[in-house]
Structure 1
Amino acid sequence: MSDTVRTLNTAGMAPTKQVQCWSDALTDLCGRFDVDPMEASSLEARINFTTVSRLKLCQIEASQHRITHTASRVRASDHPYVKILFQTHGVSYFEQNGRHIEILPGDCLAYDVSCAHTIVSPSFTRHEVVIVPQELLKERGFRPGKMSACKLSARTGTGRIAYDFVHAAFGEATKLSASSAVGVADSLIDILLLPLREADMVFDRVGPEAMYVRAQAFIREHLRDPELSIDQISTALGCTKRYLHMLFSERGVTVSDYIWRARLQNCRQELETQAGKTITDVAFSWGFSSSSHFSRVFRKCFGIVPSAVHKAQHGGLSSDIS
């Protein structure tokens, strides 16, 4: 199962304790921050947070306050995250690298946590946040050294779709199996990046990361093709097989392993959710041509045989292969 939802509420604490607890909570999530309730006599704040694979999902509400990540504390290795914030109530003011951005309900703000910044909320605010490790974004063509804070609308279009997905993922996070959480996290990152891609803010179109992203997309589109191979991929992308091997090996996986793991993840998801299909139907629909080979690699990947997943999800129904 995925992580539980954890809660911190500063209500009822002494004012100095409220500030310290809030600072500690932010530190645990994404790095050290100074917290200032400004002229208020207390800091009434609440955070619910959970994880989906390596993503951190948060629902945050707080009375007036200022948080600051100062230049003297900036060490990128301590803050290797990009934060994607959806404002749902109140107004906040963000400052980074001389830029000043007003954040209203319905706005989405994406920014690099490793750069010094300040967020001022002069009255009660509420927002939902996804904290994404930069390493996950690099795999999708993200350029962490070139990103500027980006404000987008979450009221319509891809921004609205991204927000709805985040909200749903938080609500269902505790019900996800470990393998499903990985798939949800991958999908969530791709959906979150849709509005950023449209803004053309943070992606390299010609470098190795861009080629890796294109290779991933091609593989996903042709995953059911049993003839999918590195020859087919390199021809479609106009690059050499050697270059493709290099792109994947730098990320600790071969092209072939990436394909088979992606197929196995999809097979497991269908076995868990689609009762009307036999194990053989599922395996063959995702490019496997041998039932015995599928069962063997499935067990190697997940530690259980396909029939165990099938029976567990569908009340002991008989299956055609183990």
Structure 2
Amino acid sequence: MSTYEAETWATHGLSATSRVDHWHDALGETHLLFDVAVPQPVRATFNAELTRRRFGELALVDCTVDPCSGHRGRQELAVDPGWAGVLVIGSGRERVSQAGREMVLGPGDCVVWDGDQAVDFEVLEPLRKRTLLLPRERVMGLGGSFPAHIAAGSAHSRLLAGYLDMLSRELDHLDGPACAAAANAALELMRAVVAPSAGGDLRTIVLPQIKRWIEARLHDPRLSPREIAATHAISVRTLHALFAATDESVSEFVKRRRLERARAELLDVPGVAITKVALRWGFPSAAHFSRCFRAEFGLSPRELRQDGMPSEAAGP
């Protein structure tokens, strides 16, 4: 289970007079300091709820909120230089103004914002959004200009929103190392989104990281697409999509790399038993290993050894 418990703030059950103050405090605690306002007709029924999940040095915040507005100016910036973040709209509409740019965001839109710049927001209708918060220096060093708008329906917005959706579902079930891996993957996605010319296509950013993780665990017989996807907080479908442009599926990649590592061991360690090599690299039996080996290399493990060394070194 995750070592990071979800934290929740909500105005439900509070008096009408204290809801705005509670929203102001919750927003400052989970995002950044804002001078907030709620339209008078909405005050009596105003509701907002925030859930924060921290992982590594990042935080994922889910928010539902009724119409309101906020201003982050010189006074707030002096107290709280803050974070950078990427916001993904789930439903509703929000107007955001920063650095002389005004954007009206709707479902599927993403925006990357800089917490060290003045900003205004206005929730135009009941809103559901998700925000990934990152240390500002981790984002500012990527280049690019802020705010950075990622339009709904683009490849970047779909993959980023899908990744954050999966994070929201899986973070409560990930242990510390898995949370760290998920944080690293999120940072690499941000690199590609903010500075695509430097970061390249999202697949080229995420896939090498997943492959490195697999390489370190090839000996584990339980290694599977489901485990790989869960550890990196993505869906199995997304995992398969990342491998789709390569010449092999994720399962084929795992099998090939196991066979290549096994082949190297057979040649480098003449005295090791073939059965032991098969089990060490995740194969359930020597017979299954031999069939896969022949299909990959055109000869059996024993024949490989007979071609290059004395037959008595082959082992059982």
* TM-score interval (norm. to shorter): 0.5 to 0.7
Alignment of 1:71-110 (within 5 A): 71-75=74-78, 78-110=80-112
Alignment of 1:180-191 (within 5 A): 180-191=178-189
CA-atom RMSD in angstroms: 3.8
Question: What one-letter code is carried by the residue in structure 2 that aligns with 1:4?
Answer: E
Counterpart-to-counterpart distance in 2, 1:66 and 1:186:
33
Asked if the contact 2:112/2:147 (under 8 Å) is kept, the reply is yes
In the alignment, what sits opposite 2:57? 54
1:274 aligns with 2:223: yes
Residues 91-143 of structure 1, C-alpha deviations (whole Å, 9 max, x = no match) = 111111222111111111111012111110122111111111123335xx424
* TM superposition score normalised by structure 2: 0.62
Query: Structure 1 residues 273, 180: closer, same or farther in 2, change over 3 A?
Result: farther
Counterpart-to-counterpart distance in 1, 2:215 and 2:80:
35
In the alignment, what sits opposite 1:229? none
Residue 167 of structure 1: how far off its partner (Å): 0.5
Runs of 4+ in structure 1 over 4 Å off: 220-224, 268-273
Aligned residues with identical type, % of pairs:
16
In the alignment, what sits opposite 2:29? 28
Counterpart-to-counterpart distance in 1, 2:109 and 2:192:
15
Counterpart-to-counterpart distance in 2, 1:125 and 1:37:
14
In the alignment, what sits opposite 2:15? 14
Query: Structure 1 residues 172, 221: closer, same or farther in 2, change over 3 A?
Result: closer
Question: What one-letter code is carried by the residue in structure 2 that aligns with 1:115?
Answer: Q
Counterpart-to-counterpart distance in 2, 1:191 and 1:272:
29
In the alignment, what sits opposite 1:155? 153
Asked if the contact 1:82/1:132 (under 8 Å) is kept, the reply is yes
Residues 44-85 of structure 1, C-alpha deviations (whole Å, 9 max, x = no match) = 01112211221111111111100221222213x833411101
Q: Secondary structure at the match of 2:60?
A: strand
In the alignment, what sits opposite 1:63? 66
Counterpart-to-counterpart distance in 2, 1:151 and 1:177:
33
Counterpart-to-counterpart distance in 1, 2:135 and 2:4:
17
Q: Secondary structure at the match of 1:106?
A: coil
In the alignment, what sits opposite 1:315? none
Asked if the contact 1:153/1:160 (under 8 Å) is kept, the reply is no
Unaligned runs of 5+ in 2: 225-250, 269-279, 283-316
In the alignment, what sits opposite 1:317? none
Asked if the contact 2:142/2:195 (under 8 Å) is kept, the reply is no
* TM superposition score normalised by structure 1: 0.61
Q: Secondary structure at the match of 2:216?
A: helix
Counterpart-to-counterpart distance in 2, 1:130 and 1:103:
16
Asked if the contact 1:82/1:131 (under 8 Å) is kept, the reply is yes
Counterpart-to-counterpart distance in 2, 1:102 and 1:3:
33
In the alignment, what sits opposite 2:246? none
1:142 aligns with 2:147: no
Q: Which has the larger radius of gyration?
A: 2
In the alignment, what sits opposite 2:299? none
Counterpart-to-counterpart distance in 1, 2:114 and 2:187:
15
Between 88-97 and 189-198, the greater mean CA deviation after superposition: 189-198
Residue 266 of structure 1: how far off its partner (Å): 6.0
1:121 aligns with 2:123: yes
Aligned residues: 233
Residue 270 of structure 1: how far off its partner (Å): 7.0
Question: What one-letter code is carried by the residue in structure 2 that aligns with 1:26?
Answer: L
Query: Structure 1 residues 23, 165: closer, same or farther in 2, change over 3 A?
Result: same
In the alignment, what sits opposite 2:232? none
Alignment of 1:195-206 (within 5 A): 195-198=193-196
Counterpart-to-counterpart distance in 1, 2:191 and 2:150:
11
Question: What one-letter code is carried by the residue in structure 2 that aligns with 1:19?
Answer: V
